[in-house]
Structures are given as C-alpha cells and as structure tokens.
Structure 1
Amino acid sequence: MARGRKGKRPEEGQYAPLPYALLKSPAWRALSGPAIKAFLELHTRYNGCNNGRLFLSLNEAADILGIGKATAQRALVELQDKGFLVLTKPGNWYGRQANEWRITIKPEDRKPQSTASNDWRSRQPKTEHGSVADPSACPMGPLRNHLPRHGSAPEPVRPDSPAASGSEVGR
C-alpha cells in the first residue's frame, strides 16, 4: 500500500474530524437525523479558510440529502436553535444566491484571531414537554401519580352477581 506525505493514504482523501465533546453532548444527541446530515454536509464544505461562507440552499440540501425542502428547512432551523450553525448571509432567490453559513465548531475566517464559538455547549436540549432536560431529576422507579384521588371509587365493568345489577336472569 503506497503512502503519501505524512503517512496519509492517498485513497482516503480528506476527512472531517468531530471532537468527542461534541458527539457526546446532549445537544448533539438531541439532533434529528436530517439535522445531523445537514451539519455533516456543511462541515464537508469547510476547507480551512471559508467558515462563514459555507454555501447551501434549501433546494440543494433537499437534493443532496435525499429529503424534502420542508425537512431541510426544519433541519437547518434546528441546527441554528441548538447552536451548531449560524446564518451569516441570507440567500436571495432572485439573485440566485444560496444562504451562507458558519459552523460553530470552527473559527470564523472573516475575523482574524477568532476561535470557535461552540454555541452548542451553552444550549440545553428541550424534552418532549418543553422543559430543559435534566437527567438527575429523573426517578429510577416506575412513574406513579402522587396526587390524591378525587371522585368515587372505580366500579367494575360487569357486576359480580345478577342481583347487584337489578336485572333478572333468564328473562
């Protein structure tokens, strides 16, 4: 197997490293599948000096990722809400310009000496009910209703004896 410069295998080409802190974060784990696909697509467009100028339109995202335009739009909004993506310049349909994006795990290249903002670190994912997820608040036992019961005791669906129902048997 022939090796190129610095021990790289020429057939492997470029790669997109993702830090474990990102991959194991609650924000990343709360992302939907289409959002992860959109993030990875934008990350592969980063070449080391174009963060803040990563072009991706809804039509192109839908086409490349094999999802609908509405799903692509929800994925990009989700990435923005969870701090993985920033819209740096909105696209223009009539000018045929795609949206310009910045991924927050890399430094912005328009600002010299900038560092990655990593906005996702400060965002907490929402649970199904809209509250902030807190794993320490979850009980380990089965869920029970601790509220007092109101109303009458439950009655059986079928009475135990015909006399209890007030009807006669064999009518």
Structure 2
Amino acid sequence: MANGRNKGRKVDPKRDGDGFVALPWAVLDSPAYRRLSHPARSLLLEIARQYVKDNNGQLLLSREHMRSRGWSSSDVLTRAKRALLAGGFIHETVTGQWPAKASWYAVTWYSLDRHSDYDPGAAETFVRGAYRKGLSMKNEPLRPSHGTRPSQIGPSHGTEEKRVAPSHGPIWGVFAPLSVPSDGHHLDMPSAAPKEVTPPDSCAGRYIRLTAKPERLFTGLLAPTTTTTKKASGRVAAMA
C-alpha cells in the first residue's frame, strides 16, 4: 500500500511500485476470514488499500467512493460491509448521515489513529485484533430459533385419542316406533270440506268430483238420473 512509513526507503527492484497492501498472516489464517464470502474478502482488500500512515479510523466504504472502484451493486456492498463488521475486521468510528456525511471505519489489525471527529465512545469501543474472536454472519450453520431438537411428528394439541362422544355428552338414540309422527297426528288435522258441484242436465251424463280434496281432481262419468231421462223423453215427444 502507499504507506507513509516507507518514504525515503529504497524501492525493492523485485516488485512494481513503492506501495503495497500488507495483510498479516494472522488475519488471512483466522477462522473469521475463512468464513467470509468472496465479496467480503474483496472489500477487505479495498479498505486496506486506503490505509497510510495515520488515517486508520477515516477509511471510507460509501457507495459513492466504492463506485469508482467498480462496486456497482449497493446490495452486495452492504452485505460485504456487514460481514466485515460482524467478523471484527473493521470498526465504525463515525456513523454517516445522508446525504453528505459518509461513515468512517478503521481496520482492527492496526492501532486506531486518534481524531477529534469520531463519534462519542467510538475510540473506547475499538478492539485491536477483534477479528480473532469475531464471528461473521455469512456462511454460519443454519439453526432454527427453537434449537436443534427433533421436530414433533404429532399434532400441536397432542396425540391423545379422539373422543367418541361429543363434548357436551353422549346422545342416546331412540329406536322404538313413534306413536305420533314427528309433524303431528294426521287424524287431528282438519280436512277441507267437499265442494258442491252442480251437475249439468244432459242425457249424455255428468261429471262430478270423486274426492273432497281440491288438489286431487278425479272425474267420473255417471249414468243419467231418472229425472234427466224423463226430461229428455218429453223433448223428443214434443218434436215429433
């Protein structure tokens, strides 16, 4: 990296440039680093690239700054930043405020450089080497909220047998024949009176209703009465 501590020193002819990123083996070999996702490891190199002589605590990971470094996805950047914070690789010294104030960070394998603009308590909560006991939330084994105990096969209300009788008690069936129908005794119900029908005077006969109930109509041909026969015979004699 472009570290100010290297000024005045002779450049190593075996490598290009005079700056380099120095990541201690203790960081790269830590269990927390092995649990990091690939985007989180890339972001760790990006923030280590910013460190020089006395700016540990003023490192930037804002979307505007990282866009110039090729980070086009805000979601990927946010997840990687959270993984580094949870793993103890970086420490937030200033909480950003939209739209003009960016957050500041410090890497934990270097000492924190003092600055008067840090948030209250940020310097006191900084822990050197926090990655040694930090736990990244990425790639953690999945564990349900109720623990790892075996799930119950039975229903939530238990495995007791269902009741044969209803909750309000057993109901005894009545199998004896009923003396009275459920809708009442038909003999007690009044019936409709027969409707009088005046038969027509005709020698051909007459039709009357055979039943008294008007909803059931049956007709029958009755033989002419004696009176009707006499009237018809009188008409025939007069015509002769």
TM range, smaller chain: 0.5 to 0.7
Q: Deviations over 1:86-139 (max 9, x none)?
A: 111012223x2221101111100107xxx97010101245632249xxxxxxxx
Aligned twin of 2:37 = 32
Residues 42 and 82 of structure 1, relative CA distance in 2, 3 Å threshold: same
Measured at CA, do residues 53 and 7 of structure 1 come closer, stay the same or move farther in structure 2, by a change above 3 Å? closer
Task: Provide the rounded CA distance (Å) in 1 between the counterparts of 2:26 and 2:76.
Answer: 27
TM-score (norm 1): 0.63
Match of 2:106 among 102, 109, 113: 102
Which one of the candidate residues 57, 66, 81 is aligned to 2:62? 57
1:121 paired to 2:132: yes
Cα deviation, residue 31, structure 1: 0.6
The CA distance in 2 between the partners of 1:120 and 1:75, in whole Å, is: 15
- Give the aligned partner of residue 176 of structure 2: none
Match in the other structure for 1:160: none
Alpha-carbon contact 2:91-2:108 (below 8 Å) kept:
yes
Q: What is the RMSD of the two structures over their aligned residues, measured on CA atoms?
A: 2.9
- Percent identity, aligned pairs only? 29
Given the superposition, is the C-alpha separation of residues 17 and 116 from structure 1 closer, same or farther in structure 2, using an over 3 Å criterion?
farther
Residues 1:91 and 2:102 are matched in the alignment: no
What letter matches 1:40 in structure 2?
L
* CA deviation string 1:50-84 (max 9, x = no partner): 00111221233255243410110111011000100
Rg bigger for which structure? 2
Q: SS state of the match for residue 55, structure 1?
A: coil
**Pairs aligned (count):** 127
1:124–1:73 Cα change, 3 Å: closer
Quickly say closer, same or farther: Cα 1:54–1:86, change in 2 above 3 A: same
CA contact (8 A) 1:38 1:61 kept: no
Instruction: Give the secondary structure class of the aligned counterpart of 1:54.
Output: coil
CA distance in 2, matches of 1:58, 1:48: 24
- Structure 1 residue aligned with 2:173: none
Q: Within 2, Cα distance between the matches of 1:66 and 1:58?
A: 8
Structure 1: any 5+ residue segments left out of the alignment? 132-146, 151-171
- Return the offset for 1:37: 1.3
The aligned residue for residue 165 of structure 2 is none
CA distance in 2, matches of 1:65, 1:38: 11
